Chain A
Amino acid sequence: MPASKICVVVVSGSLERMQMAAMVASVGAVSGHEVVVFLSMNALPYFVKGNTSKAPHEGDMGRLMASKKVPEFKTLFEQAVELGDAKIYPCSMAMDVLGIEQDGLESYLQNATGLTKFLHDAQDAQVWTF
């Protein structure tokens, strides 16, 4: 079983980028990788409890995906946690800017973390940025 670690940084709020990030996180996590996800900037609002708004697509692929039975990115992130033991950290700075507390976020997220801890986690990992 490979022990290599994958860090996924999700900054964009576009459907395609969050979808790809969720695919890397979920498939990585169920394939034996240690997966750490850091959610910040425009990605974080989609993980606020009760936010059901649809992420905007960047291009034709996103539009096509929305019309087909593609697993939703939030479902894939949740499966990464449940099936593959991934850890998903909301960025504390983005939470401060949004004015939300930990209990306002989806329950499968870890406690807020800052860049110092994330950079420490990432120093021996592959880092994927979306």
Chain B
Amino acid sequence: MAEKIIVDGRGSFCPGPLMELIVALKSAQVGDVLEVLSTDKGSANDIPEWLNKVGHEYISTTESDGVWHITLRKAK
């Protein structure tokens, strides 16, 4: 499995980080772990909802210094 893929959506507002994640998911392999960085709290709440809806594996969300780290695994 590849290294964790970082998706840097810092500074962008909803739905920018989600769109950047989707672009990254297109080129990722099934099983890859991705970590989205977002300074937009709305996206931190919305991305896990989206993962649940479309069927990718949501792993965790952490926050430090105003940056949310949303970790997930591409499931399909």
Which chain A residues have a beta carbon within 8 Å of chain B's beta carbons?
1-2, 23, 26-27, 30-32, 65, 68-71, 76, 79, 83
Contacts and interface: CB of A to CB of B under 8 A. Distances in A.
Given A1-B54, A1-B55, A30 B13 contact: no
A69 B23 CA distance: 18
Interface string B14-55: 111011001100100000000000000000000000100111
Nearest to B55: A1
Contacts, number: 42
Nearest to B13: A70
A31 B11 CA distance: 23
A26 B19 contact: yes
A83 B26 CA distance: 9
